[in-house]
Structure 1
Amino acid sequence: MNFSARRGLVVVLTAGLAASAVGGLAAHADTAARTHAATRADARGEVVSFARVRSMSAKQTRAWLASDGFDAEAVRYGVDAYRLVYRTVDVRKRPTTASGLLVLPRNGDRSLRTVSYTHGTMSYKKDAPSVTKDVWGPGAAVTYGGAGFAAVAPDYLGLGKGPGAHPWMHVPSETTASLDMLRAARNFAPRTGRTLERQVLVTGFSQGASAALGLARALQEGADPWFRVRAVAPISGAYDFGGTQLPATVGGKIPAKYAVVYASYLLTSWNRTHGLYRTPDEVFRRPYADRVEKYFDGTTPGAEMFQGLPGTLPELLTPRGQEMLRAPGGRLAAALRQDAAAVMGWAPRVPVRLYKISDDEQAVTGNTDRLAAAFRARGVRAPVIDVGDRVYEESRHLGSNLTGTALTARWFRTLR
């Protein structure tokens, strides 16, 4: 989840804002790293190329974050930010590449504690944290970097510099992309004279909240020989997609236009991954059947997609499409069960805090309550923390990222 009504789409689904002069943005041409065979299965996390994309003093960092509403109280240092392109695997475990953002503090420490931050929904490649020129996309990672952490923010598959379309709300590939970005950051850090400590503090917002839980679970279960999860703090996620979020989407509990975009993204993305329909006109009405898959292939700016879709679900979906979402069956039901199991079907053995905002108009707050109950049933105490009233671009959901990031940064600084 992650919609900006004024910008015209999910998160920052605009073409991106002009670089802030106060940010001292300095983009550099990608610098090729030494690589081996592109198809090697054991090359996951190998850095293919890198570029320094931001360099800011502490004062510049605070001003840059504040220009888009981020709380810069935790920022004590300047930052250097790098885009990494690295080797990973796609949804079918075939070799591919992805990109992500690594933000390092200018604090002189040689060994750095690591935060993994996974971002919210976006569909346009150029809005991803490692490539966008705005503040919103990389703002959380820069906050953690300015607080003294090595902040690692994957773009996910198919966004940023990654090939192909993004498999939206696909926790398994979000997990592998996040894990391999951690490995890439560890491989790259010595080039700057730094090393990453083994324990990882895991957080994420909206779509990234589910991704954060997937990564934390993988680390707890020993998916990497080096990294270990230290704590996890997801913010405003759609954790119970099938049981809570989807009924809210089709039942009128989120704004109609948001429902249209999320339903479109779900059906087109999950069709690529799970095979839900043969041709778009089975589930989408014309003229939208002719254009909707193009809207979500990574090449269409958010504002264009937002304007091109209708205002209500009945205008968008055929009777079959409407019934598919009202009463999921077959492959869609199986995919929803898989999603729920990946996010909620485990018991964290590390400190957990669940951040939410009341009256969330996108990722309805019942998702967080459902996750807390699932953890409680497994004997896990996971405090639910309401971030209070915060609105960003007319959205409480987006506002929760700003306050939730500030609260998470403060909590992570207390953990050793």
Structure 2
Amino acid sequence: MLFNKINSFTGRALLLVWAVLGLAAGSSCSKEETSPTTERPAAPDTHLVSSTLIGEYSTAALAGRVPDIPLAGALVRYPIRVYKLTYTTRTPGGQPVTASGALLVPVTTQALPLLSYQHGTIRPDDEDRAPSYYKSSSEVYSAVSVLASTGYIVAAPDYIGYGASKAQPHPYEHASSLASASLDMLRAAKEFCRKENAPLNQKNYLLGYSEGGFATMALHKLMEEQAASEFTVTASAPGAGAYHKSAFASYILNSTQPLNFLSSYVWVLDTYNRVYGINRPYTYYFNQPWAGQLQANPFGEVPTQASELFAGPFRAGVLNQSDTQLLAAFRDNDIYDWKPRAPLALFHGTADDYVPYFNSQDAYNAMRARGATQVELRPIPGGTHFSSVATYTLSALAFISQC
């Protein structure tokens, strides 16, 4: 399955990070330019619903989770306790819903930074790979647990549609609900830490790749624009996200080359059709027999040619800019053109044929044009969406460690 490839790369890469972190190329993340963090009064507890201890894991147990890397034992620093948190957030339609996520807490009295980890794509039939299930098949169980043990309290939201909210459809690549579910998880994590006397040191980091990169970018924007009184983003490192949805849609619909991942784009289209109340039938978007087949199974096989899959009038409406409803939905999910205040590094493989590199290039250009001096573009030369994961993990964690 598509993102099993990412998970297998990530576990090895994360451990290698901490082996070579001191030798990594120096980051231009400047501490002098970053606004200092200040202690804020505690906000009222309004998000955390419940916390359940999943387990406590020794350093020996954590090191043994990646047995093919002998350095693991040296990299693990603290035992960790893993909790399933449930918390209140809102659906894309604004209705309250109980969501869930995993919170990984090192066993120490030292004040630690809070790190929000946004996971990549999980198909509904792989739902138990969501963080709060804490299964061995997920990167949260292996790679992210090792990261936590080095000294980060890690909040890993499931997002809406998984875990406690699995009765809801997952709003795939919907920026505002990915961001709000992640932010509310951070709020619940802070409430938990206050109650359990797990001290935080006021630093807040954001990481995620692919859908997680898109969610990370959306979360960073939301935190700085609407939650600055609660959190200061210390640094973020989104990887390979589809930040420029409008341009991405045109790229797909105008393509004459085979596209190997059209089923994921179908999911995005289905989400926007529902979330924005457009509610067109599948026959509007897709040619037959694909419309009927996707109606029965939205995650079924599709052809690789956009012109074969997508109906001509639909394609024309986007490409000639006459489909105002759908174009407005794409623009609502364009999160490439804004001015971040905290250091932000954009990582992306230059040969990515799943989420094209121009998404990060466009974001970098737009942010720099707005005067964002601490935004960096970190291309991964020749990297595909999958082969870039190891380099992303190594480089992103090296980046945030210096902020």
Matches of 1:183 and 1:137, distance apart in 2: 23
Q: TM-score, normalised by structure 1?
A: 0.76
What amino acid maps onto 1:228 in structure 2? T
Task: Indicate if the aligned counterparts of 1:222 and 1:228 stay in contact, CA closer than 8 A.
Answer: no
2:149 to 146, 149, 153: 146
2:338 to 336, 343, 346: 346
What amino acid maps onto 2:106 in structure 1? P
Q: Secondary structure at the match of 2:252?
A: helix
Matches of 1:291 and 1:174, distance apart in 2: 28
Give the direction of change, closer, same or farther, for the CA distance of 1:64–1:159 in structure 2 (3 Å limit): same
Does structure 1 residue 413 correspond to structure 2 residue 398?
A: no
Query: Which residue in 2 is equivalent to 1:209?
Result: 213
Task: Indicate if the aligned counterparts of 2:112 and 2:200 stay in contact, CA closer than 8 A.
Answer: yes
Matches of 2:234 and 2:272, distance apart in 1: 32
Q: Secondary structure at the match of 1:161?
A: helix
Query: Which residue in 1 is equivalent to 2:316?
Result: 323
Query: Which residue in 1 is equivalent to 2:389?
Result: 401
Matches of 1:350 and 1:270, distance apart in 2: 30
1:160 to 144, 163, 174: 163
Task: Indicate if the aligned counterparts of 2:256 and 2:307 stay in contact, CA closer than 8 A.
Answer: no
Matches of 1:147 and 1:321, distance apart in 2: 50
Matches of 1:137 and 1:85, distance apart in 2: 20
Q: Secondary structure at the match of 1:397?
A: coil
Query: Which residue in 2 is equivalent to 1:233?
Result: 237
Matches of 1:55 and 1:271, distance apart in 2: 43
Where does structure 2 lack aligned partners over 5 or more consecutive residues?
12-43
Matches of 1:96 and 1:154, distance apart in 2: 14
Matches within 5 A, 1:4-403: 7=1, 9=2, 11-12=3-4, 45-47=47-49, 49-53=50-54, 55-65=56-66, 75-106=76-107, 108-124=108-124, 125-131=127-133, 133-138=135-140, 139=142, 141-162=144-165, 163-190=167-194, 192-223=196-227, 225-243=229-247, 245-252=248-255, 256-258=259-261, 260-292=262-294, 295=297, 305-306=299-300, 308-324=301-317, 326-327=319-320, 329-340=323-334, 343-381=335-373, 382-387=375-380, 396-403=384-391
Task: Indicate if the aligned counterparts of 1:45 and 1:88 stay in contact, CA closer than 8 A.
Answer: yes
Q: TM-score, normalised by structure 2?
A: 0.79
Q: Secondary structure at the match of 2:116?
A: strand
Question: 1:256 Cα deviation (Å)?
Answer: 2.4
Matches of 1:286 and 1:280, distance apart in 2: 10
Task: Indicate if the aligned counterparts of 1:77 and 1:146 stay in contact, CA closer than 8 A.
Answer: yes
Question: 1:74 Cα deviation (Å)?
Answer: 5.6
Give the direction of change, closer, same or farther, for the CA distance of 1:127–1:148 in structure 2 (3 Å limit): same
Task: Indicate if the aligned counterparts of 1:268 and 1:293 stay in contact, CA closer than 8 A.
Answer: no
Give the direction of change, closer, same or farther, for the CA distance of 1:113–1:226 in structure 2 (3 Å limit): same
Report how many aligned residue pairs link the two structures.
Answer: 362
Question: 1:87 Cα deviation (Å)?
Answer: 0.6
Question: 1:149 Cα deviation (Å)?
Answer: 0.4
Question: 1:350 Cα deviation (Å)?
Answer: 1.5
Matches of 1:241 and 1:73, distance apart in 2: 42
Question: 1:327 Cα deviation (Å)?
Answer: 4.4
What amino acid maps onto 1:116 in structure 2? S
Question: 1:66 Cα deviation (Å)?
Answer: 6.5
Q: Deviations over 1:133-162 (max 9, x none)?
A: 244442553243122101111121112321
What amino acid maps onto 2:114 in structure 1? T
Task: Indicate if the aligned counterparts of 1:231 and 1:352 stay in contact, CA closer than 8 A.
Answer: yes
Matches of 1:275 and 1:72, distance apart in 2: 52
Where does structure 1 lack aligned partners over 5 or more consecutive residues?
1-6, 21-41, 297-304, 391-395
What amino acid maps onto 1:320 in structure 2? P
